[in-house]
Amino acid sequence: MTSNQQQADYWSSDPGRKWITFENELDIVFEAVNTALIARANPQPGENVLDIGCGTGATARAFASHLEPTGSITALDISEPLINQARSRADESPVTSHYHLVDAQNEQIPDAPFDLATSRFGVMFFSDPVVAFTNIRNHLKPGGRLVIAAWSNISGNPWFEEPRNGAVNRLGPMDISDPHAPGPLGFQDIERVTGILRDAGFQSVVGEEAEVILSHPGPLERVAALASNIGPAARVLKKYQGGPQDIEAIKNYVQDKFSPFETPEAVLIPARLNFFFGDNSL
Ligand SMILES: C[S@@+](CC[C@H](N)C(=O)[O-])C[C@H]1O[C@@H](n2cnc3c(N)ncnc32)[C@H](O)[C@@H]1O
């Protein structure tokens, strides 16, 4: 069994905790991803739904409103601070909701079987994705479905590209590594991921690239600060032990690059995502 301890440590330390610090703004920026995910997953009243790698729980809460009155949601995460934060907001869910500290790859998932397993950006970090998706599939009902959202290629994704460039310019390069290694961009290759899902036993597997528009009410400086504190900039900052002055320099770089996305109403950043679908055959 390959361990995900490195991910548990990462998401329980400073970079993960920043998702709590910036929770409200991240929920706004990534709301468009929830909308796109829900449109594709088509959750139904009464269904039992699993949210994998739920972070602070925004996607679980968004799905919950579609499951009323008798459905239920189970959300899991490998990071204790993040699952505790999600659990602290459980009373906002209109249906029964459960939050568990679980490694989705290697552990039993409580409250199974599920009609639907979903995830917004929580499934690209597994050390052994075939084992992980086999485990997830084994917790679905016969005929249950998987619908997940991940980032596509970094080029065409300014939300990733500009903070990464700003951080690398300021601090230095990341190690050249496998582009498919566990990480936020690990599911950029649709063919590879559909192969993983098939190897994990899913049927009718499909991958689809689609554009969504990330929207933040602004001002631009806030958006730049947000993008400079999480994602790839956070990884570079962690590697070089960057401090507040480095974050400020990265933020200024990103603010400049994001200025074409500023409109009178909001900052609108185009993003390219990969959605993946699979069925647990009857
Ligand atoms: C990029 S964050 C996304 C959080 C949330 N889904 C959202 O969109 O706000 C990735 C999440 O996946 C979780 N994660 C990573 N590996 C995991 C694993 N093996 N099992 C469960 N959760 C995992 C992390 O702790 C983190 O909360």
For position 174, what pLDDT does the model report?
85
Residues having CB closer than 6 A to ligand 1 are 4, 7, 11, 30, 53-55, 58-59, 76-79, 82, 103-105, 120-122, 125-126
Longest C-alpha distance within the chain, in Å?
56
Gap between the Cα atoms of 44 and 149, Å rounded:
19
pTM above 0.85, yes or no: yes
For position 80, what pLDDT does the model report?
97
**CA 54 to ligand 1 center in whole angstroms:** 6
| Closest approach atom of ligand 1 to CA 10 | 25
Across the chain, which has 282 residues, the per-10-residue mean pLDDT values are: 92 92 95 98 98 98 97 98 97 95 98 98 98 98 98 92 94 84 94 98 98 96 92 87 93 97 97 98 79
Gap between the Cα atoms of 187 and 272, Å rounded:
12
**CA 263 to ligand 1 center in whole angstroms:** 31
Gap between the Cα atoms of 25 and 116, Å rounded:
27
Gap between the Cα atoms of 213 and 228, Å rounded:
19
**CA 10 to ligand 1 center in whole angstroms:** 10
For position 179, what pLDDT does the model report?
83
Tokens (6 digits) for 69:
């009155």
Gap between the Cα atoms of 54 and 79, Å rounded:
10
Q: What is the CATH number of domain 5-161+179-216+270-279?
A: 3.40.50.150
For a mutational test of ligand 1's pocket, the pick from 125, 126, 133, i.e. the residue with the most ligand atoms closer than 8 A to its C-beta, is 125
For position 188, what pLDDT does the model report?
96
**CA 203 to ligand 1 center in whole angstroms:** 24
**CA 122 to ligand 1 center in whole angstroms:** 4
